[in-house]
Amino acid sequence: MDFKKIKCFVLDMDGTIYLGNELFDFTLPFLQKVTDTGRKYYFFTNNSSKSQAAYIEKLARLGINIEPEQMMISSHVMIKFLQENHPGKKLLVMGTDSLLAEFRRFDMPLISEGETPDIVIIGFDTQLTYEKLCKTCDYVRHGAIYYGINPDWNCPVEGGEFIPDCGSMAKLIEASTGRFPEFFGKPSRHTLDYIIKTTGVKPEEIAIVGDRLYTDIAVAANSDVNSILVLSGESTLEDVEKSPVKPTIVLPSLASITELL
């Protein structure tokens, strides 16, 4: 790929710019080089359990100060889609308090007690209760439009362990209702469209950088957007060989991109 053409980078977070709470030592020099060469950078997280503000704060703690528009999050892809395609429809959101607050911040019509939703949305609900699960299954079973925010099966946590993410919760609901939702985070086309719109540049001028083939790299598949797989996180070269989804280029880490700019 031709780095001269790239005007902006859309970066995954865990495994790409940091691991857990440890920023990679090459991340700040990379971001500096991006800025110094007149380019822009954005972050995109699929994690729908936290608010955009929580991520902006986390980045600030790590020494990265950004404008809100530079922090893209899967829940905003969902909200934007609902605003454009289902204005005014009543929503039941199975999610954390932070996710519900994010929906309220955009004046999304969440149902109140006793109301029936037109649309059921599930997020990565780390505060999931059996009661919430039953209510969600009820409306899904009775035919509400049904969407999921991020399709990840697991979310990595400290110590190399994993916790079940939104995709796994969708599987549980599928076992009960027979329905599986359409998803909106990476690697959906909705996310790619959202990235192209937000960055405001041509698809071929965007490079999406991430450590996971089936989300970060797959989102750019069959489009003119470039994808860079970094080997600082989950995927290995062996995974690339076996994968039907191929990145535009594979590099050890962001440090290699810094040298190419």
Output the 3-class SS for the chain. Answer: CCHHHCCEEEECCECCCEECCEECCCHHHHHHHHHHCCCEEEEEECCCCCCHHHHHHHHHHCCCCCCHHHEEEHHHHHHHHHHHHCCCCCEEEECCHHHHHHHHHCCCCECCCCCCCCEEEECCCCCCCHHHHHHHHHHHHCCCEEEECCCCCEEEEHHHEEEECHHHHHHHHHHHHCCCCEECCCCCHHHHHHHHHHHCCCHHHEEEEECCHHHHHHHHCCCCCEEEEECCCCCCHHHHHHCCCCCCEEECCHHHHHHHC
CB of 124 to Mg ion, least distance (A): 14
Stretch in the footprint of Mg ion (CB under 5 A) among 12-20, 79-87, 179-187, 222-230: 12-20
User: Between residue 203 and residue 222, which ones bind Mg ion under the rule CB under 5 A?
Assistant: 211
15/109 with CB nearer Mg ion: 15
Q: Answer yes or no: are the C-beta atoms of 139 and 119 closer than 8 Å.
A: no
User: Between residue 20 and residue 59, which ones bind Mg ion under the rule CB under 5 A?
Assistant: none
Stretch in the footprint of Mg ion (CB under 5 A) among 8-16, 59-67, 103-111, 128-136: 8-16
Stretch in the footprint of Mg ion (CB under 5 A) among 14-22, 110-118, 188-196, 247-255: 14-22
* Under rule CB under 5 A, residue 102 binds Mg ion: no
N-to-C CA span, the chain: 12
* Under rule CB under 5 A, residue 14 binds Mg ion: yes
77/120 with CB nearer Mg ion: 77
102/211 with CB nearer Mg ion: 211
* Under rule CB under 5 A, residue 15 binds Mg ion: yes
173/213 with CB nearer Mg ion: 213
* Under rule CB under 5 A, residue 12 binds Mg ion: yes
- Report the Cα 113 to chain-centroid distance in Å: 30
- Residues that bind Mg ion (rule: CB under 5 A) add up to a total of 4
d(Cα 41, Cα 70) in Å, to the nearest integer? Answer: 7
CB of 75 to Mg ion, least distance (A): 17
Stretch in the footprint of Mg ion (CB under 5 A) among 13-21, 29-37, 176-184, 244-252: 13-21
CB of 96 to Mg ion, least distance (A): 20
Stretch in the footprint of Mg ion (CB under 5 A) among 5-13, 29-37, 118-126, 238-246: 5-13
CB of 216 to Mg ion, least distance (A): 6
Tell me the β-bridge partners of 94: 122
82/217 with CB nearer Mg ion: 217
* Under rule CB under 5 A, residue 125 binds Mg ion: no
Binding site for Mg ion (CB under 5 A): 12, 14-15, 211
